[in-house]
Chains A and B, each alone.
Chain A
Amino acid sequence: MILQVIFLIISAAAITLFSLNVRKIIRNIKLGKDLDRSDRPAERMKTMLKVAFGQSKMVKKPLAAVLHLFVYVGFVIINLEVLEIIIDGLFGTHRIFAQPLGAIYDVLIAGFEILAALVLIGVIAFFARRNILKIKRFTGTEMTDWPRSDANIILIVEVLLMTAFLLMNAADQKLQQLGSAHYINAGTFPVSGLLLALLPDSESSLLLIERFCWWFHIIGIFGFLNYLPYSKHLHIIMAFPNTWYSNLEPKGKFSNMASVSNEVKAMLDPSYVPEPVAEGSRFGAKDIHDLTWKSLMDAYTCTECGRCTSVCPANQTGKLLSPRKIMMDTRDRLVEVGNTIDKHGKDHQDGKSLLDNYITREEIWACTTCNACTDACPVNIDPLSIIIELRRFAVMEESQAPASINNMFSNVENNGAPWKYAAVDRMNWAEND
């Protein structure tokens, strides 16, 4: 009985804490500017099923795709087992689904074990790729101590959880063989069956191992759940809403700023009555409040895999720009702003901004807007739109563009071409054949 109460308290605490953090994340995302992504629900559903659920964009790197698939499928399906664990924990039962499911239960447990083994293979391979093979994609200026540790913590926790799960099953199996009370004959154990020799024979030791692994596994899962909001691993949840709200337009189509249309229309036609624009809004983005909520959701979704950076022409030729850094900076700044709100209230200014304190001018001007990053992202994150918003701020609010870019602007303005040619010469090519 007392164990059930402890279990209830731990579960309730874990779920409450997680909900509080989720609410904070939602509030932070809502700090962004409006953007309508409520159109075309059928197409959105299709995109989410294909890209997030179906992992369609992972396949560009086949080895990583297969290993990731192990971990992904394992994670999703083994969580069915967690349902049983929670019911057992709350009601003091043991393997509650075994009786009603009968033979199906055996198949399920066998399936979970195989998946757990595949997860272990995937996770160990991932750990090796990061720490032994030192794959270039996992390095870079933005991959400082914390992001590297974050990745390793996730992998180690997954190893521990899967090991506990398999050891628990092994001990359970041995207890079943001993005819121990409470341990009904249930499940087939293709993987943990191989571990039997490692376990002691005494019933009391086995009970201790089984219970320890059971509690370790479920507390580990609750702990991991509450680690997510602080980690890049949040992508396991965010991938779904983020792909739902994907940009469905052609990648080359950049937003036309309505606030600018107002002013340009008024310039071209003095009788035009401008539509009211939200107060305090500026052109482009200096800080996270100026970005759309979708850009902020993108930032929370990024799992720092670096596929964007590994295809970025600027980054590949040694420039400072890294699309992954753009996303990580945006999230770091967003979290900082969120924490400031928690501490000092909504209107407190900390004197910092995304541009300059996090992302430098050199980075934003190195972008070729080629869309390689947005194409490469397995969860449809769009670093390019953030870069463009930052450029818009630099150009339209501050007139701070590289001198040669300013020359180009004045050429377009005066000659109708980005170079210094007279507009009257525009058709000369037709004469000198």
Chain B
Amino acid sequence: MDKLTVPTMAEMLAKGETPEILFWVGCAGSFDERAQKITRDICKILQHVGLKFAILGTEESCTGDPAKRAGNEFLFQMQAMSNIQVLNGYEIKKIVTGCPHCFNTIKNEYPGLGGNYEVIHHSQLIQQLIDEGKLKTEGGESFKGKRITFHDPCYLGRANDVYEAPRKALEVLDADLVEMKRCKSNGLCCGAGGAQMFKEPEKGTKDINIERIDEALALQPNIVAASCPFCMTMLSDGVKNYNKEEEVKVLDIAEITVRANGL
């Protein structure tokens, strides 16, 4: 594959071009080392299918999601309104996010503050590309016979009723897909939502991510598939807790797609 080039909106504007889609990277995707890899993979997919995209780069700022869930509506609306200024300034129409939290916030909570865009999560983009025949699942690693279980992120699943899109990316692999008992609308949270990512859990008998990874590991999977950077952290920590990093990989839908296509 060609070298990855990631244009910013500012660069595009300078060249007098407009992208088909804005890739909203998100804070985890920008700074978290594990999530950065997924961010690059999403770009690889966009570049591979020839979709003209751009990012905001340093003009992007936190959507305000963790502030809002933690009750800080001031901070949320400050973030939201300044992001909306930037997005509207570039006349953005369509956005793909690498994170269900950014997806939910921009899609559902920005319209009321003046930010109206078509927003999709990267798993929905991958689903569309597969449906349109632009992503073929060939020329890469074979997942044939691998046991894969998908963990539904709350802000993609219950919050927005997106259950099938991430599964679509797995169904095309010819892998052995297994569902946890608590899946789809019954899915168990990884433990990071509602700003829990940024604090220690309250006193209890068990950590939520351990409860979740216990359920996943009981299926003896080769891969636990995720599609949220927070879930990624929580599930990976869960696997580490049992020293199973060698046998069980926690991979994002985008990473799996990139591998299957040899990008």
Q: Place the interface of chain A in its size category.
A: 35 or more
> Is A367 part of the binding interface, using a Cβ–Cβ cutoff of 8 Å?
yes
> Is B211 part of the binding interface, using a Cβ–Cβ cutoff of 8 Å?
yes
Say how far A25's CB is from chain B's closest CB, in angstroms: 29
- Residue interface mask A419-433, B partner, CB < 8 A = 1: 101011111111001
Contact B61 A423, beta carbon cutoff 8 Å: yes
Q: Report chain B residues within 8 Å CB of A317.
A: 191, 201, 204-208, 210-211
Give 17 A-B pairs besides A314-B202, A365-B199 with Cβ atoms closer than 8 angstroms: A251-B160, A265-B81, A313-B191, A313-B208, A313-B212, A314-B204, A316-B188, A317-B210, A319-B204, A369-B154, A372-B158, A372-B188, A396-B71, A404-B198, A404-B200, A417-B30, A426-B60
Q: Report chain B residues within 8 Å CB of A433.
A: 3-4, 40
Contact A60 B113, beta carbon cutoff 8 Å: no
Known contacts A418-B62, A429-B39: A368-B199 contact under CB 8 Å: no
User: Which residues on B are within 8 Å of A, measured CB to CB?
Assistant: 3-4, 6, 8, 25, 27, 29-32, 36, 39-40, 43, 55, 57-58, 60-62, 64, 66-75, 77-79, 81-82, 104, 107-109, 112-113, 154-155, 158-161, 185-189, 191-208, 210-212
Contact A395 B70, beta carbon cutoff 8 Å: yes
Could you name 6 residue pairs across A and B whose Cβ atoms are closer than 8 Å? A250-B159, A366-B204, A404-B200, A412-B67, A418-B27, A433-B3
Contact A368 B159, beta carbon cutoff 8 Å: no
| A375-433 contacts to B (CB < 8 Å) | 375, 388, 390-396, 401-402, 404-405, 407-409, 412-413, 416-419, 421, 423-430, 433
> Is A371 part of the binding interface, using a Cβ–Cβ cutoff of 8 Å?
yes
Beta-carbon nearest neighbor of B194 in chain A: A369
Cβ-defined partner of A370 (8 Å) among B27, B31, B77, B154 = B154
Q: Report chain B residues within 8 Å CB of A316.
A: 188, 208, 211
From A11-19, A69-77, A171-179, A255-263, the one touching the partner chain is A255-263
| A247-275 contacts to B (CB < 8 Å) | 249-254, 256-257, 260-261, 263-265, 267-268
Q: How many A-B contacts are there with CB distance less than 8 Å?
A: 219
Contact B189 A313, beta carbon cutoff 8 Å: yes
Say how far A385's CB is from chain B's closest CB, in angstroms: 12
Contact B70 A368, beta carbon cutoff 8 Å: no
Q: Report chain B residues within 8 Å CB of A426.
A: 25, 30-31, 57-58, 60
Say how far A210's CB is from chain B's closest CB, in angstroms: 50
Say how far A356's CB is from chain B's closest CB, in angstroms: 15
Contact A405 B195, beta carbon cutoff 8 Å: yes
Contact A318 B204, beta carbon cutoff 8 Å: yes
